[in-house]
Amino acid sequence: MQVRLVILTGFLSAFITGISAQVAPVKGLHDNTPRIFALKNATIIPEPGKKIENATVIIRNGVIEAAGKKIKVPAEAFEIDLSGKTVYAGFIESYWKREDKKPAAFDLNKEKKKDKPRPATDHWNKKVHPEANILDTFHPKEKELESLRAMGFTTAQVVPAKGIFRGRSALIHLGDWQSEAVIKENGPAQFMAFEHGSWGDPGYPGSLMGAISLMRQTFYDAQWYANAWQYYNRNSDKTEPPETDRALETLAEYMNTNAPFCFETGHELAALRVDKIAEEFDFNYSLKGSGYEYRRLNELKNLNTTIIVPMNYPKKPDVDSWEDALDYNLEQLRHWDQAPDNAARMVKAGIDIALTSNDLKDRKQFRKNLLRSVERGLSKHDALAALTTAPARQLGLDNMGMIAKGFVANLVITDGDYFDKKSKISEVWIQGKQYIVKDEPVHDVSGNWDIALTGGLTIDATLELTQKDKKVSGKLVVDSTEIKLKAVENEAHRLAFSFPGKELNVEGSIRLSGIFQDKSISGNGIAPDGSEIQWTASWVSAVKEKEDEKQETKKESASELTPVYPEGAYGFSQLP
């Protein structure tokens, strides 16, 4: 009997191990083949500050089975050689807010038509809906998931976008969008913001003061609501039940279970307002920062919480002319100079941070901005921690953020050091599945070309092109006359540019475009008089680099400025 029991136990254990978390019917034949991979000969960064060269990572059914040197590779594993590659734990996007398109100008008549009846148990104010579940309206496009994976993100916290009490966030994997990608649907936090109306939204509250008042009143109402229902449940035979309100019920549950809140702040002082409210109602919280945190480091450190830091730095001010310079005030110029140092200053002050790409119009700018911060003083270890271990700790992801046995096989693979500008992300792994990162092909057109134009303009010349990344510049050399090219575009297999005809005794600009084929280009163009031009170019030789171009680009250094109070022309170096 004892032997049978052992055999039966082993059978059940093997059976349960082989079962996936599938709940929907299987389409076609059921495939329960174990997914076992061995990523060999890689440099792995198991966690910030640690490095193992010539290492192996074993993945079995979406989980890391082993990682390190001298790892025995299972006979059934599919081996992948990652020589020259570096493997990091998958990055975690701490704040993915998907907003609707910008609404049209306010129209009272249209607004009345849109004001549909709401459920009877909803809160009376439409900006209060803590019971909302973000996944009920979350339908990500594949391009959105691809763009996040291209930056190395494998996991994300999806957050609601509108309201004061906005609702519950959710945790998801960024692979194929299906039920298996959902890590946690309700939570990990209730999201809030100091949102208020304006002329385009006449509803209450219409000011910051009103938003704070509504926020505090709603917390008090939630406490009263919980007490009222407790009293009724004890005395249901003596009194009528309170009104049902889903918002207050959800909020009371969060407060009673000490569940965390997360506040979006649009200003560094908003964080201090949050702390006063949290102290009044005794709840835990984290913050979504504004990028201006460097102005109040001491106060923010005392909050003892995690701050999600955006990487949306202002563009370089256009002050080429005195008229353009008048468009910028001193506060804007000071922020432009200090913003890239925000994360580094926060870390130095002892503030726990996580990073987000959310506030960027173009997410591709995230890594560029991060590398700028690293160049200006943010350590690689701290930057990596803010993408892996810090958000994992904040979001309660105990099996993510590191490369270790038992952790989810979410990985980022690069062709070098992630913090080297020249390196690229080649692939990510999510739940043990490989996703190749598609890189836009760049056709290098650098070199000296013999070019011939016929038709509306006949010339034989030399075309000198220089390309750095995707940016192309150049000149047309006719005999000894040099003509600078304008509006040069190099996209896919097409090259287009224009040049002024003044040096050729032609009034106006000549515009040309052509298609690459091996080392030749051919196409058409338009002369200033509207006549058609045919042109061809053939590659002759590489462009010789100038001595000053061979030198490395000067590295950025941290700002020498320090905050003043208030920011601007007449601020004090210390708080009064």
Distance CA 72, CA 273 (A): 55
Distance CA 415, CA 422 (A): 9
The amino acid that residue 371 corresponds to is: L
Dihedral sign of CA atoms 196, 200, 203, 207 in order: positive
* pLDDT value for 16: 44
For residue 496, what are the β-bridge partners? 489, 513
Contact 218, 254 (CB under 8 A): no
Containing 27, the helix (H) or strand (E) segment is: none
The pair of structure tokens assigned to 255 is 């407060």
Quick one: CA torsion of 432, 45, 422, 145, rounded to 10 degrees?
30
Sheet holding 182-184, edge to edge: 91-97, 153-159, 170-173, 182-184
For residue 494, what are the β-bridge partners? 491, 515
The pair of structure tokens assigned to 380 is 């690689």
Say which DSSP state 26 is in.
P
The pair of structure tokens assigned to 198 is 């304006």
* pLDDT value for 2: 46
- Cα 178 to its chain centre, rounded Å, is 21
Digit-by-digit pLDDT tens for the chain (576 residues) are 444 444 444 444 444 444 445 566 655 555 556 689 999 999 999 999 999 999 999 999 999 999 999 999 999 999 999 999 999 999 999 999 976 444 444 455 555 555 667 788 999 999 999 999 999 999 999 999 999 999 999 999 999 999 999 999 999 999 999 999 999 998 889 999 999 987 666 789 999 999 999 999 999 999 999 999 999 999 999 999 999 999 999 999 999 999 999 999 999 999 999 999 999 999 999 999 999 999 999 999 999 999 999 999 999 888 878 778 888 899 999 999 999 999 999 999 999 999 999 999 999 899 999 999 999 999 999 999 999 999 999 999 999 999 999 999 999 999 999 999 989 999 999 999 999 997 655 678 889 999 999 998 999 999 999 988 678 899 999 998 999 999 898 876 789 999 999 999 899 999 999 988 878 999 999 999 999 999 999 999 987 765 544 455 678 899 999 999 998 888 888 887
The amino acid that residue 199 corresponds to is: W
Pairing of strands 352-356, 306-310: parallel
Smallest CA-to-CA distance from 214 within 197, 238, 232, 201 is with 197
* pLDDT value for 252: 95
Around Cβ 313, how many Cβ atoms within 10 Å?
Answer: 20
Distance CA 255, CA 132 (A): 16
* pLDDT value for 17: 47
Contact 264, 211 (CB under 8 A): no
* pLDDT value for 333: 93
* pLDDT value for 15: 44
Containing 506, the helix (H) or strand (E) segment is: none
The residue behind tokens 């105990």 is: 398
Smallest CA-to-CA distance from 166 within 175, 174, 157, 178 is with 157
The pair of structure tokens assigned to 58 is 């074993």
Distance CA 456, CA 496 (A): 17
Say which DSSP state 294 is in.
G
Containing 114, the helix (H) or strand (E) segment is: helix 108-114
What pTM value is reported for the model? 0.79
* pLDDT value for 550: 46
- Residue 191 makes CB contacts below 8 A (sequence gap 6+) with 159, 160, 166, 167, 168, 169, 261, 262, 263, 264
Dihedral sign of CA atoms 209, 210, 215, 221 in order: positive
Structural domains for the chain:
32-90+401-439 (2.30.40.10), 93-101+121-187 (no CATH), 208-397 (3.20.20.140), 447-543 (2.40.128.120)
